[in-house]
Structures are given as structure tokens and as C-alpha cells.
């Protein structure tokens, strides 16, 4: 009876390797179509909204007011029957609605009650995100099937727990729910929140002005309501004597999944891809294989299968064939080249911004300049625009830049936060 | 026994003169190791995924379709993987049908899933239906249409969804006492080869053929275009409404009926040229020779050639 989307897998690669060649790269595009749309359809879903209510949310006062409005908008977006809860986070986590530690089905009455409870919130206390996530985990534990999505909003650093406490809480939450994270203002830590969003397969973004929160919360909740299946996994088989170098999500954002593997058997492992609606994501897979014999038929060096539970819903092959024809073996697949560039772009931004903070201006100039060139070359206009607020660009093609003297903290954080956002190839190669 | 070397597959020590590596079973001579009971020639595993790759080492199953030669009555066919493709996605089937010969050639669409399964299903189902309907007394055109319809159903049934639909081309021939009947969808071709009277019997369901038919491009311009080989009709769950093409004629004298996939006609498209290079020998030798010429010309695609001599006895 479940209405699940149709999944397809496409593999883009150059299968030809030179004699002695061992490294194979491929871009795997996973696409889902025909997911049910609109309210009242789709998989059963649970939603937990976590609002930072630490004392700093009152400075300026409009942060708290906007956060409450945003959470109310999110509550309004929940379709009937979705089980939900609202949690307030400070040095500890507290149920805002319902009062008991449980999820409650959304309907006109519960939505109104939740919004009323939100309007009574006050800001006080510190920030302990691990405790917030732990409460969300306990709530979702009673709803283990279907879509499980949380929104976490914070305005500050995780000051009232040790980093180890946060790590433990995050580790305990992995696989239990997907969590989109949002930072508001400029006092939160990009790297810290990125760690949480990344581990919980969610997005990370910065909402510079409190007023923009409402639209963002509504969009996140709508996206969660649009998911049709939870817990999709990519199963990757590699042959004996081969080494899987990495598995990365490369679109819509850079996310290294290599360490997320759960072994299935001697040659296969599952990589969690979270919940899916109607969408398309790209993955970069690299395998190291023993060199093959020139002239022999192509071998499968990775077998990628999309799993819904135990069911294979689509599959694709990454191949390798050894040749003496250099024209064939030296050609780099355009998609592989593109996403290799996008990975380099993200790395250069993060290293460049850190160098700038550390006062190493030569490294910062070189790295951010390289990032400008890569963003220009790949047509990543969004990142190019953000880079333009941190450096003055003399020549985008070669990446000749000068660091700006005065940079708005919000602009710098925004660039850092969005450094991993990628674009598809400009031309429709493939 | 020579000095120790190392196996190119697993690095284990091997000795010059050994036929295969004792450790991993890889062939050291370039010749495939004879594999017992269909085991993988490279690692000895006996598990293969549905699309033919070994679940141990990823090598393709020892290819029973890499090169096949078949004879039926006076006719013969050869199908070959070619030099550039990893496997043979063409399929052919031929048999004696009453007083004549029936044959089918199919070419799996490489961009579809399991193209080799599509072409095999279409060829097998098409030929079986064609011979059954002829034996049941259907006229050749009706039998040809029914066979094509059944072949379409067989390929459609392979699809798990329209987004995951195996696909192939199809050309069938029946050369009987009353003449020749051809049915096709896609760009696999039938030719009548008889000296100056040689001609192509089919018209490709291809982008190039459409451009030429509409007078938009010359034959040479169309074939030189990057889209030349894009087919506009095929067998498969994603094919939509399929228009069957049927043609029939009565030869005026002896000649040769040739069915082939684009692996041959890419290199030798003109009927008169094909007639001139087909050796005056038995059909199997003739089919082998044409396959060899396509391989020598580059072998970029899978190559299938079915040769059906049409003698005066047929035309009586």
C-alpha cells in the first residue's frame, strides 16, 4: 500500500584505465520521481521542533520573537496526523508542547495549543545542545517507523556541556532522526553546528536576520512533509582485493559518507542517505583496484544498489577496463572533474577563512583566490557572490584577489556555512 | 619451470609456463581458464549477479554470447562482441521453418538496463512465434506481425518500471517458397544482395533516416551528425506506441538475404558494396567473413550477421 517514489541510478565515469592504473572514479546520480505530493499522503511522519531559549535569545529581543513566530509557522505547516512536539533548549531541554514527554498528532486543536505554548516562552539559561538532541531522541524512540525529522535552532555556542557530551549525544542520535540545523545571529560556531547537521544527515544554514526565520522554518517543514520514504541506504559492493577509497555526497552539498559505512557482508556496506521525496542527489565514489590486464573485458569494480530496507529499488555498475589507448584512458569524465572541483572549492574556503582568522594572510589570499577561480569556472554563482563579500576580485579566471579589510562577521559566517553547497555541471554533460 | 614472477591479479608468486595462478585462478596466458560448471574464470566464484558480473571479483561471466555461430538449414549466423564493448548485447535466432528459413536479429540498447536480456528475449520469442504461426497456417505477413507483437510483450515484461526498461531493436525475416517477408522496429537492417539488384529492404527508425526522409539532410550529412545513431523506435516498456514495419517481395532470381545489426552496417552501409564483399562461399563462411571485416574496420559495436541464401528452389 505504501506509495513510494520510483528510484533510478545513473553512473557517469570513464571506465578506461591506463596499463597499471588502479584508481577508478564515478559519479552516481540517484533520482526519485513520482513521490506523493501534498497534504494527507505519503509516509507516516514525526516532527520535533527545537528552539534555543537561552538568555542570549533576548539580545536583541527580536531574535526570540522571530524564533517563536518561525516555530509557529512550522507548526502550521504540519499536515494532519503528523506526530509532533516542540522542545525548548537552554542548559537543559524542556517540553513546550505537549507537556508530557511524547509526540502528539497534529490537528487544528493541537496546532493552536502548541502555538499558544510557544507564545509563552521566555529566554533564560545557557546552551546545551546535547541535552536537546537527547530529548528529541527519546521522543522519536516511540515512533521508530516512517519519516523522523527535527529542526534545531540556536544562536550560540554549546557552552554548558563539554564537547564530549555533545559528541555522545550526537552519536546516540545518528540514524534515529534527520536534523536540519539553523544558526541565527553571529555568536554560534559554524564548525560545531556543521558537525551536528552532518552526522544527522540534515542541512545547515545561517539565518542572518531573525525576520527571515519564519520563511525558512516553513520551507524546512514543508520539505520534511514532502519526504515519502525514510532510511534509504546506498549499498556499495567492491570486489575482493579492492579498496573503497571514499563515498561522498557531492550534490546538493558536499558530505563525506565514507565513515558512515555499516558492513553488510565481506564485500558490501551500506551508507545512510536519509529520507527522500522527489529529488536528485549525486555521489562520488572512488575505488582502488589491482591493475587488470589490457584487452580483457570490463570488470565491475563497484556495484551500487539503492536499498529501502531489504528491497533493492535500483542498481548501477562502476566498471574498469584497461587499455593502451591513451586517448581513452586520459580522458577525465566531465562530472567527475566538476565535482572534484566543487570539493576543492569547499576545502579552499574553509582553509582560507581559518587562515584569515589565524592572521596567515598569504595563505588566506591564496586559498580564497583559488576558491574564486573554482567558483567562477564551475558556475557556482551563489558561492562566487558570497566570496565577493570577503575578498576584492581582480581577476575571477585566475583567482587574483585581495582580502577585504573590513568584513561583516555575518558575511564571513555565511560563506563558511554555505561553502559545501554545490551546483550541477553548467552544461548538461553526461 | 622458469623463475618466479608475480600474478598480475593477486600478486602471488607464479612461475613462467604456468597457465593460471594457483592462488586466485587468474589466467596467466591471456586465454580464459576453462571454468568448471560455469564458475568465474578469474576467481572461481560461482555466484553471478543478474547482469552477469561475478560476485567475487566483478569479472563478467565467461561469455557464452561473446561469439556465437549458428547454422539452420541453408542459412547461418554469426554474432560477436566486437572490440570495444564489454559484452555482446546483440542476439540472433534462426531456424528452418517449414520449407523456408526464419531468422531474427536484435540489438540491445546499451543505455537501457539489461540490454542483453532484452535482445535475447525478443529474438527467442520472435522466432518461436514466427515459426509457430507459420506452421499453424498463417500467411507470412500475419505471422511476422504476431511475432513482433509477442517480442514486444516479452521485452516489456522485463521492465520493473517504465524508468527501468530494457530495450532493443528487432528485424525478422522469413524466406519461403512464395518470397521474402521482413518485419522490423529500430535500426537493425535487412538487405537483398544480388549484384546490381542489391538493395536495403528496411528503413531505419533513426534520427538520421528521419532527417533524410524529410529532406532536411543528405544521407552523408545525416550519418556524419552526432545524432545519427539515435533510434526513434524500439521494443521496451518505455517505447510507447510501436509502429511495426513490414515489407515483402518475390525475388526475380537467386540472391542472398542478409540481416545485420549496426555493428556491420556502420562500416558497410551500401547494399552493392555488401554484395561485392560477401564471398561466394557457404553462408557460415560468408557470415564469418563479414564479421571479420567489421572487426578489422574497428569493431566499435557488437556485430551480428545472418546470411540466408535464396536459391531458385525457393522461388519455384
Residue of A nearest to B54 (CA): A300
With an 8 Å Cβ cutoff, are B60 and A293 in contact?
no
Closest CA to B308 of B201, B185, B173, B128: B173
pLDDT tens column, B140-185: 999 999 999 999 999 999 988 777 899 999 999 999 988 999 999 9
Contact between A276 and A228 under an 8 Å Cβ cutoff? The reply is yes
Chain A: nearest CA to B19, how far in angstroms?
Answer: 15
- Contact list in B for residue A267 (CB cut-off 8 A) is 55
Q: How far apart are CA B153 and CA B168, in angstroms?
A: 12
Q: Phi, psi (5° rounding) for residue B213?
A: -60, -35
Which of A33, A240, A297 shows the shortest C-beta gap to B60?
A: A297
pLDDT at residue number A303: 95
With an 8 Å Cβ cutoff, are B86 and A267 in contact?
no
Closest CA to A54 of A121, A152, A155, A125: A125
Contact between A290 and B6 under an 8 Å Cβ cutoff? The reply is no
With an 8 Å Cβ cutoff, are A6 and B11 in contact?
no
**Mean of pLDDT values over B3-20:** 64
Q: Which three cell numbers stand for residue B135?
A: 506452421
B163 in contact with A, Cβ within 8 Å: yes
**CATH number of A335-423, picked from 3.40.50.300, 3.40.190.290, 1.20.120.1690, 3.20.20.70:** 1.20.120.1690
**CATH number of A6-35+228-331, picked from 2.30.42.10, 1.20.1050.10, 3.40.50.450, 2.60.40.3670:** 2.60.40.3670
Question: What burial letters (b/e) apply to B122-159, b meaning 16+ CB within 10 Å?
Answer: bbbbbbbbbbebbeeebebeebbbbbbbbbbebbbebb
Q: Phi, psi (5° rounding) for residue A425?
A: -55, 145
Closest CA to A180 of A141, A140, A143, A223: A223
Q: What Cα–Cα distance (Å) separates residue A114 from each residue in A44, A98, A110, A147, A223?
A: 20, 7, 6, 21, 21
B51 in contact with A, Cβ within 8 Å: yes
Apex A276 CA angle, A272 and A280, nearest 5: 95
The pTM of the whole model exceeds 0.90? no
pLDDT at residue number B239: 87
- Contact list in A for residue B10 (CB cut-off 8 A) is 241, 290
pLDDT tens column, B24-69: 555 565 544 444 456 787 888 888 887 778 899 998 776 667 888 8
With an 8 Å Cβ cutoff, are A297 and B53 in contact?
no
CB atoms under 10 Å from CB of A305, counted, come to 19
- Contact list in B for residue A237 (CB cut-off 8 A) is 55
pLDDT at residue number A245: 97
- Contact list in A for residue B86 (CB cut-off 8 A) is 297-298, 319, 321
How far the first Cα of chain A sits from its last, in Å, is 36
**Mean of pLDDT values over B239-253:** 92
With an 8 Å Cβ cutoff, are A291 and B8 in contact?
yes
Q: Which CATH superfamily is domain A38-225 in?
A: von Willebrand factor, type A domain (3.40.50.410)
With an 8 Å Cβ cutoff, are A298 and B163 in contact?
no
pLDDT at residue number B240: 86
Place of cell 570495444: B84
What residue segments make up the domains of chain A, in order of their start? 6-35+228-331, 38-225, 335-423
Most confident of the ranges B72-81, B93-102, B184-193, B291-300: B184-193
With an 8 Å Cβ cutoff, are B53 and A303 in contact?
yes
pLDDT at residue number A257: 96
- Contact list in A for residue B54 (CB cut-off 8 A) is 239, 300
Contact between A275 and A244 under an 8 Å Cβ cutoff? The reply is no
Which of A239, A293, A295 shows the shortest C-beta gap to B56?
A: A239
CB atoms under 10 Å from CB of A37, counted, come to 12
Apex A426 CA angle, A425 and A427, nearest 5: 95
- Contact list in A for residue B30 (CB cut-off 8 A) is 293, 295
With an 8 Å Cβ cutoff, are B86 and A298 in contact?
yes
pLDDT at residue number B316: 38
Q: What is the DSSP letter of B108?
A: B
Q: How far apart are CA A339 and CA A25, in angstroms?
A: 11
Q: Phi, psi (5° rounding) for residue B126?
A: -60, -45
Q: Is residue A196 left, alpha or beta, with left meaning phi > 0 and alpha meaning psi from -120 to 50?
A: alpha
**Mean of pLDDT values over B127-134:** 95
pLDDT at residue number A39: 41
pLDDT at residue number B143: 97
Q: Which of B10, B14, B58 is the mutation pick for testing A, counting most A CBs within 10 A? A: B58
Contact between A204 and A198 under an 8 Å Cβ cutoff? The reply is yes
Q: Phi, psi (5° rounding) for residue A123?
A: -95, 125
> What pLDDT tens digit does each residue of chain A (430 aa) get?
356 788 989 899 999 999 999 999 999 999 998 776 544 445 689 999 999 999 999 988 889 999 999 999 999 999 999 999 999 999 999 999 999 999 999 999 999 999 999 999 999 999 999 999 999 999 999 888 889 999 999 999 999 999 999 999 999 999 999 999 999 999 999 999 999 999 999 999 998 788 889 999 999 999 999 898 998 999 999 999 999 999 999 999 999 999 999 999 999 999 999 999 999 999 999 999 999 988 777 889 999 999 998 999 988 899 998 988 888 888 899 999 999 999 999 999 999 999 999 999 999 999 999 999 999 999 999 999 999 999 999 999 999 999 999 999 999 999 999 999 999 865 443 3
Q: What Cα–Cα distance (Å) separates residue B267 from each residue in A206, B86, B171, B261?
A: 59, 20, 19, 11
ipTM: 0.76
Closest CA to A235 of A227, A244, A224, A226: A244
B30 in contact with A, Cβ within 8 Å: yes
Amino acid at each position: 500500500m505504501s506509495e513510494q517514489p520510483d528510484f533510478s541510478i545513473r553512473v557517469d565515469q570513464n571506465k578506461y584505465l591506463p596499463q597499471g592504473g588502479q584508481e577508478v572514479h564515478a559519479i552516481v546520480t540517484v533520482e526519485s520521481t513520482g513521490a506523493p505530493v501534498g497534504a494527507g499522503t505519503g509516509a507516516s511522519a514525526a516532527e520535533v521542533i527545537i528552539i534555543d531559549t537561552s538568555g542570549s535569545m533576548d539580545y536583541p529581543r527580536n531574535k526570540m520573537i522571530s524564533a517563536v513566530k518561525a516555530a509557529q509557522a512550522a507548526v502550521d505547516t504540519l499536515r494532519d496526523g503528523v506526530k509532533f512536539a516542540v522542545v525548548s533548549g537552554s542548559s537543559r531541554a524542556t517540553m513546550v508542547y505537549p507537556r508530557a514527554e511524547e509526540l502528539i498528532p497534529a490537528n487544528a486543536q493541537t496546532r493552536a495549543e502548541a502555538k499558544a505554548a510557544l507564545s509563552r516562552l521566555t529566554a533564560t539559561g545557557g546552551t546545551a545542545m546535547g541535552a536537546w538532541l537527547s530529548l528529541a531522541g527519546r521522543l522519536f524512540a516511540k515512533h521508530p517507523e516512517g519519516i523522523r525529522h527535527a529542526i534545531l535552532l540556536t544562536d550560540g555556542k554549546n557552552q554548558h556541556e563539554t564537547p564530549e557530551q555533545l559528541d555522545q549525544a550526537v552519536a546516540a542520535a545518528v540514524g534515529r532522526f534527520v536534523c536540519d540545523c539553523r544558526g541565527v545571529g553571529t555568536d554560534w560556531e559554524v564548525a560545531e553546528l556543521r558537525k551536528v547537521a552532518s552526522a544527522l544527515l540534515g542541512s545547515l544554514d545561517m539565518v542572518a536576520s531573525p525576520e527571515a526565520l519564519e520563511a525558512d522554518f516553513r520551507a524546512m517543514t514543508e520539505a520534511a512533509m514532502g519526504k515519502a520514504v525514510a532510511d534509504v541506504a546506498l549499498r556499495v559492493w567492491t570486489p575482493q582485493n579492492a579498496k573503497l577509497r571514499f563515498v561522498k555526497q557531492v550534490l546538493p552539498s558536499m558530505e563525506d559518507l565514507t565513515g558512515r559505512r555499516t558492513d553488510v557482508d565481506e564485500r558490501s556496506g551500506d551508507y545512510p542517505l536519509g529520507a527522500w521525496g522527489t529529488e536528485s542527489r549525486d555521489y562520488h565514489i572512488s575505488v582502488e583496484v589491482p591493475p587488470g590486464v589490457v584487452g580483457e573485458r570490463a570488470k565491475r569494480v563497484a556495484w551500487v544498489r539503492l536499498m529501502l530496507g531489504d528491497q533493492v529499488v535500483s542498481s548501477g555498475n562502476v566498471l574498469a577496463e584497461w587499455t593502451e589507448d591513451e586517448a581513452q584512458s586520459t580522458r577525465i569524465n566531465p562530472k567527475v572533474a566538476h565535482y572534484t572541483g566543487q570539493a576543492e572549492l569547499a576545502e579552499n574556503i574553509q582553509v582560507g577563512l581559518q587562515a584569515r582568522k589565524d592572521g596567515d594572510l598569504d595563505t588566506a589570499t591564496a586559498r580564497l583566490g583559488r576558491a574564486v577561480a573554482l567558483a567562477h569556472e564551475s558556475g557556482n554563482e551563489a558561492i562566487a557572490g558570497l566570496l565577493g563579500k570577503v575578498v576584492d576580485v581582480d581577476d575571477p579566471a585566475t583567482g587574483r584577489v585581495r582580502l577585504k579589510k573590513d568584513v561583516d562577521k555575518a558575511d564571513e559566517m555565511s560563506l563558511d556555512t554555505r561553502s559545501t553547497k554545490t551546483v550541477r555541471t553548467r552544461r548538461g554533460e553526461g | 619451470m622458469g623463475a618466479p614472477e608475480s600474478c598480475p591479479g593477486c600478486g602471488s608468486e607464479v612461475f613462467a609456463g604456468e597457465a593460471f595462478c594457483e592462488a586466485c585462478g587468474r589466467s596467466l596466458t591471456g586465454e580464459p581458464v576453462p571454468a568448471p560448471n560455469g564458475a568465474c574464470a578469474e576467481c572461481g566464484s560461482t555466484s553471478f549477479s543478474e547482469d552477469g558480473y561475478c560476485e567475487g571479483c566483478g569479472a563478467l561471466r565467461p561469455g557464452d554470447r561473446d561469439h556465437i555461430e549458428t547454422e539452420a538449414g541453408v542459412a547461418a549466423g554469426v554474432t560477436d562482441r566486437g572490440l570495444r564493448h564489454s559484452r555482446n548485447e546483440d542476439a540472433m535466432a534462426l531456424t528452418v521453418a517449414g520449407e523456408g528459413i526464419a531468422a531474427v536479429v536484435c540489438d540491445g540498447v546499451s543505455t537501457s538496463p539489461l540490454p542483453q536480456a532484452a535482445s535475447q528475449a525478443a529474438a527467442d520469442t520472435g522466432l518461436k512465434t514466427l515459426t509457430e504461426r507459420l506452421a499453424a497456417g498463417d500467411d507470412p505477413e500475419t505471422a511476422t506481425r504476431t511475432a513482433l507483437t509477442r517480442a514486444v510483450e516479452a521485452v516489456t515484461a522485463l521492465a520493473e518500471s517504465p524508468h527501468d526498461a530494457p530495450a532493443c531493436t528487432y528485424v525478422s525475416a522469413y524466406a519461403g517458397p512464395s518470397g521474402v517477408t521482413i518485419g522490423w522496429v529500430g535500426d537493425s537492417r535487412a538487405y537483398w544482395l544480388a549484384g546490381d539488384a542489391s538493395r536495403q529492404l528496411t528503413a531505419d527508425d533513426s534520427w538520421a533516416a528521419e532527417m533524410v526522409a524529410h529532406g532536411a539532410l543528405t544521407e552523408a550529412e545525416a550519418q556524419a551528425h552526432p545524432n545519427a545513431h539515435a533510434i526513434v523506435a524500439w521494443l521496451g516498456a518505455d517505447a510507447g506506441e510501436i509502429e511495426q514495419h513490414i515489407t515483402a517481395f518475390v525475388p526475380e532470381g537467386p540472391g542472398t538475404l542478409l540481416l545485420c545489426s549496426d555493428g556491420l552496417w556502420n562500416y558497410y552501409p551500401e547494399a552493392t558494396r555488401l554484395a561485392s564483399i560477401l564471398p561466394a562461399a557457404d553462408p557460415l563462411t560468408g557470415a564469418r567473413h563479414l564479421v571479420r571485416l567489421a572487426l578489422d574496420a574497428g569493431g566499435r559495436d557488437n556485430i551480428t550477421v545472418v546470411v540466408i541464401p535464396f536459391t531458385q528452389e525457393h522461388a519455384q
